[in-house]
Structures are given as structure tokens and as C-alpha cells.
């Protein structure tokens, strides 16, 4: 498999985002299915698992800990702090004491004594990022965390944080239909030796071609509140798929594999972490690692689906103000 690095850690170039096993896209799968997915991921060579305190308000970390703790020496474990549930509501809190408390809770749920990569899930703009990163640096010195990451930050914020403690990875949405990292963060990561972890690399199922009707989404599916998935807007975006799917067929791969291969080819410091609840989809995603697609296919994919052809913002206004990423 293709290998990539996060600081001194080597991982396969496609990891697993675990959120959908507990959070975000409607009803969580049955426990047995979630366990089979996690164990199947190990068997398929996944050695980078990503979770967070927010997902299921601790339930996802608990699941990952209970299922994968016996195999802890076989994978790199990432989790996140600074965004968690309080009395049933999501709260951003980047105060040093809160981050340290959150780490203790995550360690217990994950059944480990050290988290390999611990992200600040959201920069709390009421707290200087230097103070939040300073708290995470304390956790590194205490041996509870190996490396520090940031999520959904701008290049300027990354540089401020990196001046306090080396930032091993930045995690942000990146795919054919979300190009914001290309404005500045990808280059800043390359300059600083920071890995870039791409979440939602198949555009929350859009680039799989499987989601044709947003009316099937459950009421609590987060996509129902995302502008790109509003029925009229999504209908416009669906018009992009036939040509894209034809290109994937021409290349001898699935639409999801083409999306992942495009990301892997963009830069060697990019690590996509697609999420799924199904083993067949996981096998399909990992199959992107063995693809050798002509450069012109990747160029054509990028010309078909990009920030100029996609309609709608990726977040609603309330969520957009919580992130620090550059926008077009």
C-alpha cells in the first residue's frame, strides 16, 4: 500500500473516519455492524482511525475503544477535543482546563494511555489559539498525547499555532467539490511539514453517485441543513454527475475511487479519511490505493467538479462562523 507520514508516524495513505458509526448521518448502524466494520478495516490494512469527543457525545470513542483496544499496537489513533456535548448540546470550548479534562475523558473511553494525534476540533475564538495549543503541548509533555493537530483552521492560524508547538496535521474538508484548502492551507502545511488529513473526501456521498434523492435522508442527518444538499440546489449539482461517472467508467474505477485517487495524486502530504458503515464500501475505498490513473483523467475530473461548477456553500451560516478556513 501507499504509505504517508504524520510526523514520525507512518500510515497507509487512506484512513478511516469513524464518525458515521455513531453520529451525523441519521441512525447509527447496529452495534454488530459497527464492530464488523472496524475489525474489517484492520483486516483490509487500515491503520489510521479518526474519532472525536463530539461524535455521539462520546459514544464513538467508546465504540472505537471497546472494539479496537485489543489491537492498539496495529494502528495510529486520532481523536479531537474542544468541541463536545454538554447537556445534549454541542459546545465549543478551547480553554486549557477544558481541553485537559476532555483528554482524560477520551483516554478512558478509548481505553488507551496515549492518543497518537489529538486535534483541536474547532478553534474557540474566545481563547487565543496559542493558549489552546499550549495546553495540548502540556499533554504531549505528560505523555498523554504524541502529536497535536488542528481542524478547520486557516493558514494564518496554523502558523500561529505552529510557533507554540509543532502541528503534525491539519484536518479539513477537501474533495473535488470542496477546494478551500487550495487557497492557502495546503501550501502552509507543505511548508511547515504538516500532514493534511482530508475529511469527507467523497463529498458526503455525492461523489459516490449513490445519493440521487436527498428526500431519503433522515430528519437528523446533518446534510439536511447543508446548503449544497437543499433539494433545489442538489438537483443542480446532480447535473455534474453523468459526465463524472462516465469518466470513472472510462478509467475503469468507481466514482468514489476516482475521487480518492484524485486527492492522493494532489500531494504526498494528503491523507483522505473516508467514512462508511458498510464493508463493501470500505473495500471499494481502499481499492483506490492500487489505481494508476492517467494524469489526463485526474485533470478532467478536476475540471468537471470544482468550486466554480458546484452550487451552494458547504456549511449553513451558523456553522460557517465556527470555522476559520479560507473561503473563495
The residues pairing with 170 across neighbouring beta strands, listed in sequence order, are 150, 196
The Cα–Cα gap between 195 and 264 comes to: 13
Per-residue 3-state assignment (H helix, E strand, C coil) for 262-283: HHHHHCCCEEECCECCCHHHHH
Per-residue 3-state assignment (H helix, E strand, C coil) for the chain: CCEEEECCEEEECCCEECHHHCCCECCCCCHHHHHHHHHHHHHCCCCEEECCCCHHHHHHHHHHHHHHHHHHHHCEEEEEECEEEECCEEEECCCHHHHHHHHHHHHHHHCCCCEEEEEECCCCCCCCHHHHHHHHHHHHHCCCEEEEEEECCCHHHHHHHHCCCCEEEEEEECECCECHHHCCHHHHHHHHCCEEEEECCCHHHHHHCCCCCHHHCCCCEHHHHCHHHCHHHHHHHHCCHHHHHHHHHHHCCCHHHHHHHHHHHHCCCEEECCECCCHHHHHHHHHHHHCCCCHHHHHHHHHHCCCCCCCCCCCCHHHHCCCCCCCC
* Catalytic residue list: 55
- The candidate with the shortest Cα–Cα distance to 177, out of 59, 308, 42, 28, is 308
The Cα–Cα gap between 133 and 130 comes to: 5
Cell of 32: 454488530
Are 239 and 212 within 8 A, CB to CB? no
Amino acid at each position: 500500500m501507499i504509505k504517508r507520514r504524520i510526523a514520525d508516524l507512518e500510515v497507509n495513505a487512506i484512513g478511516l473516519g469513524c464518525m458515521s458509526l455513531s453520529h451525523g448521518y441519521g441512525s447509527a448502524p447496529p452495534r454488530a455492524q459497527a464492530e464488523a466494520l472496524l475489525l474489517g478495516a484492520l483486516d483490509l490494512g487500515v491503520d489510521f482511525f479518526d474519532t472525536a469527543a463530539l461524535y455521539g457525545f462520546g459514544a464513538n470513542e467508546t465504540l472505537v475503544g471497546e472494539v479496537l483496544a485489543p489491537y492498539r499496537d496495529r494502528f495510529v489513533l486520532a481523536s479531537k477535543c474542544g468541541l463536545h456535548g454538554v447537556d445534549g448540546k454541542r459546545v465549543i470550548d478551547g480553554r486549557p482546563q477544558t481541553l485537559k479534562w476532555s483528554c482524560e475523558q477520551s483516554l478512558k473511553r478509548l481505553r488507551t494511555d496515549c492518543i497518537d494525534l489529538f486535534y483541536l476540533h474547532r478553534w474557540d475564538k474566545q481563547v487565543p489559539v496559542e493558549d489552546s495549543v499550549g495546553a495540548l503541548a502540556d499533554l504531549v509533555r505528560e505523555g498523554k498525547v504524541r502529536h497535536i493537530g488542528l481542524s478547520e483552521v486557516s493558514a494564518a492560524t496554523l502558523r500561529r499555532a505552529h510557533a507554540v508547538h509543532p502541528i503534525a496535521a491539519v484536518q479539513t474538508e477537501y474533495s473535488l467539490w470542496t477546494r478551500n484548502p487550495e487557497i492557502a492551507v495546503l501550501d502552509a502545511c507543505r511548508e511547515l511539514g504538516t500532514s493534511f488529513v482530508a475529511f469527507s473526501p467523497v463529498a458526503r456521498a455525492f461523489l459516490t453517485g449513490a445519493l440521487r434523492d436527498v428526500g431519503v435522508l433522515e430528519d437528523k442527518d446533518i446534510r439536511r441543513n447543508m446548503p449544497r444538499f437543499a433539494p433545489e440546489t442538489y438537483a443542480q449539482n446532480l447535473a455534474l454527475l453523468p459526465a463524472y461517472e462516465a469518466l470513472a467508467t472510462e478509467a475503469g474505477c468507481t466514482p468514489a475511487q476516482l475521487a480518492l485517487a484524485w486527492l492522493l495524486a494532489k500531494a504526498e502530504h494528503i491523507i483522505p479519511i473516508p467514512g462508511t458503515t458498510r464493508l463493501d464500501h470500505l473495500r471499494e475505498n481502499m481499492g483506490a490505493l492500487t489505481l494508476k490513473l492517467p494524469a489526463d483523467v485526474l485533470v478532467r475530473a478536476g475540471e468537471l467538479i470544482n468550486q466554480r461548477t458546484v452550487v451552494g456553500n458547504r456549511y449553513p451560516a451558523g456553522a460557517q462562523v465556527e470555522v476559520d478556513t479560507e473561503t473563495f
